[in-house]
Amino acid sequence: MTPLVRSVRSADTLTRDALAVLQPGFTGTTAPDWLLRRLGEGLVSVGLFGRNVADPAQLAALTGRLRAEREELIVAIDEEGGDVTRLEVRGGSSFPGNHALGAVDDTALTRAVARELGRRLADCGINLNWAPSADVNSNPGNPVIGVRSFGADPQLVARHTAAYVEGLQSAGVAACTKHFPGHGDTAVDSHHDLPRIAVDLPTLQERELVPFRAAVAAGTRAVMSAHILLPALDGEHPATLSPAALHGLLRAPATEGGLGFDGLIVTDGMEMQAISATYGIERGSVLALAAGADAICVGGGLADEDIVLRLRDALVRAVRDGELPEQRLADAAARVRALAGRTRSADVGERAAPAPGIGLTAARRALRLTAAGPYAPLAEPAYVAAFTPLANIAVGDETPWGVAAELARLLPGTETATCTAEAAAAAGTAALVDGLLTAAAGRRVVAVVRDVHRHPWMAEALSTLLAARPDTAVVEMGVPQAPPQGALHLATHGAARVCAQAAAEALTDQRLSPGE
């Protein structure tokens, strides 16, 4: 009978460990019964997304209900501020993103913004933030990082990554620095395909890894792996599945060329096509754990009980089949539980003092104005032409952007039109611009663009508009890579709501209070 009892106990421990390493999501603004049940069976982490957030009171009630089931629990969210927001997914963020903070280049400001963001997360019961992005935006054509990066200079990115980690964690929220070993030099979005970065190891050490070393030195509690292939490091597996990247580089001591990181390694979303379309989610999760990952992030797209059970069973089966060492799974589960205990909401320490208006202050400081000559501020309702590219999945299409709403608050009667690549292709650029000018009916025009350097259709439409109406003001809300154009050019370095507020103030020479 003794062997049977030992076997049952071992099976139960294995199942609990398999659940412990998962960071799943769910749908709805209340906790489903299946999730509460799995928390009782060993699940230690829950990931939240915009679909789970209505308002701070609802979010606090939700996390409180989760913790009533399991006190030592990781509640994670993808709240970068700026373009990528979940707390304010339907209204736009109260905080500028990384690119705006990098443009100001004041680490004290970055630390203060991150601390206030962390305070709001902690007040809602969230204790792990999948941020900051430490990617060096060395490829201006990058379709997924862009304004999510502090900039293109590794040293600038490093000092602001460290400041962000310090600020966030001073509010009692663990930072998860991403996307290791660096997603900035990619021309492909890993949500859709597997990016490949063809740089040598010295370049990786001198560019991509510099901010991650700074994050580790600043004490980041977690690091998120990227689904990117670096042949110089591992010619077969993307970083998330690569022992060379996770165990051999991220974990290795500095004396061996590694980063010496001993915290939690979290994967990027395993349902992203770079993994799921190549390896499958179950196989990919087994390989990630075997490579050195501790927590499997899933739930952005697959968010039900079935995916939790599939991954749990895949991990248990892999251990039993000898594909995944039982000790590796046990070590990963122990790291997750350790972070859950360390970041327990009751023990976050001294609460951060509120810093109202810090986001708008930062957005104002990030604004860069270039005038072709004298420019009279807008004093009457204007017409806003928003040249809108397809949003990447990380940002999503639910979060509003542009300056029309903020401008209309200062100048009631302001109207807007949305122009897309499809509309430009269907009507032709000349006809599209003629339509805009007809609708403007003599009003001053404000053209809003986002990464105009990446979108030829947008650049052509903007040039055509400026040729017809040279007095047009241009607001660039992406990476300001293209030369400034327009009678007045405003670079906001991001599309957060506060960036729009700062731009609207500059266009009208008026000021909004932070609470307006």
Confidence at residue 241, expressed as pLDDT on a 0 to 100 scale: 97
Asked whether the predicted pLDDT for residue 192 surpasses 90, the reply is: no
pLDDT by residue (tens digit) across 304-316? Answer: 999 999 999 999 9
Rounded to the nearest 10 degrees, how much is the dihedral formed by the CA atoms of 155, 180, 295, 315? -170
Helices (H), 151-269: 154-170, 201-203, 209-217, 243-245
pLDDT by residue (tens digit) across 367-424? Answer: 999 999 999 999 999 999 999 998 877 887 889 999 999 999 999 999 999 999 999 9
* 407 Cβ neighbours under 8 A, 6+ residues apart: 378, 382, 384, 414, 446, 504, 507, 508
Angle in degrees, CA 192, 198, 202, rounded to 5: 130
Confidence at residue 366, expressed as pLDDT on a 0 to 100 scale: 98
Asked whether the predicted pLDDT for residue 1 surpasses 70, the reply is: no
Q: Lowest-pLDDT range, 36-40, 330-334, 354-358, 504-508?
A: 354-358
Q: Is residue 270 a contact partner of residue 314, using CB atoms and an 8 Å limit?
A: no
pLDDT by residue (tens digit) across 24-34? Answer: 999 999 999 99
pLDDT by residue (tens digit) across 47-72? Answer: 999 999 999 999 999 999 999 999 99
Q: How far apart are CA 115 and CA 166, in angstroms?
A: 8
Asked whether the predicted pLDDT for residue 193 surpasses 70, the reply is: no
Q: How far apart are CA 458 and CA 420, in angstroms?
A: 8
Amino acid identity, residue 140?
P
Asked whether the predicted pLDDT for residue 435 surpasses 60, the reply is: yes
Name the pLDDT band for 5 (thresholds 50, 70, 90): very low
Confidence at residue 346, expressed as pLDDT on a 0 to 100 scale: 36
Helix (H) or strand (E) holding 128: strand 128-129
Confidence at residue 9, expressed as pLDDT on a 0 to 100 scale: 41
Q: How far apart are CA 70 and CA 68, in angstroms?
A: 6
Nearest to 352 by CA among 516, 166, 220, 97: 166
Q: How far apart are CA 286 and CA 213, in angstroms?
A: 27
Confidence at residue 242, expressed as pLDDT on a 0 to 100 scale: 97
Nearest to 357 by CA among 73, 32, 116, 175: 116
Chain centroid to Cα 370, Å, comes to 29
Confidence at residue 266, expressed as pLDDT on a 0 to 100 scale: 98
- Average pLDDT of the segment spanning 481-501: 97
pLDDT by residue (tens digit) across 132-146? Answer: 999 999 988 888 899
- CA separation (Å) from 142 to 101, 184, 194? 19, 7, 14
pLDDT by residue (tens digit) across 340-355? Answer: 998 764 344 456 789 8
Confidence at residue 395, expressed as pLDDT on a 0 to 100 scale: 85
Q: Is residue 514 a contact partner of residue 356, using CB atoms and an 8 Å limit?
A: yes
Asked whether the predicted pLDDT for residue 513 surpasses 80, the reply is: no
Rounded to the nearest 10 degrees, how much is the dihedral formed by the CA atoms of 194, 199, 201, 207? -100
Q: How far apart are CA 216 and CA 58, in angstroms?
A: 34
Q: How far apart are CA 504 and CA 357, in angstroms?
A: 16
Asked whether the predicted pLDDT for residue 277 surpasses 70, the reply is: yes
Name the pLDDT band for 185 (thresholds 50, 70, 90): confident
Rounded to the nearest integer, the mean pLDDT of the chain is 93
- What tokens does 136 get? 């060096």
pLDDT by residue (tens digit) across 207-233? Answer: 999 999 999 999 999 999 999 999 999
Secondary structure (3-state) at 125: coil
Confidence at residue 350, expressed as pLDDT on a 0 to 100 scale: 56
Amino acid identity, residue 314?
A
What percent of the chain is predicted at pLDDT more than 70? 94
- Please list the residues that pair with 490 across neighbouring strands: 369, 475
- Average pLDDT of the segment spanning 236-252: 96
Q: Quickly list DSSP for 357-411.
A: THHHHHHHHH-EEEESS--PPP-S--EEEEE-PPPPTTT-SSS--SSHHHHHHHS
Catalytic positions are: 191, 268
Q: Quickly list DSSP for 42-101.
A: T--EEEE-GGG-S-HHHHHHHHHHHHHH-SS-EEEE---BTTB-STTTTT--SS--HHHH
Q: How far apart are CA 135 and CA 210, in angstroms?
A: 10
Q: Is residue 472 a contact partner of residue 487, using CB atoms and an 8 Å limit?
A: yes
Q: Lowest-pLDDT range, 90-104, 265-279, 491-505?
A: 265-279
Name the pLDDT band for 190 (thresholds 50, 70, 90): low
First to last CA, the chain: 71
- What tokens does 462 get? 């903007």
What's the pTM value of the predicted model, to 2 decimals? 0.95
Asked whether the predicted pLDDT for residue 189 surpasses 70, the reply is: no
Name the pLDDT band for 186 (thresholds 50, 70, 90): confident
Confidence at residue 155, expressed as pLDDT on a 0 to 100 scale: 98
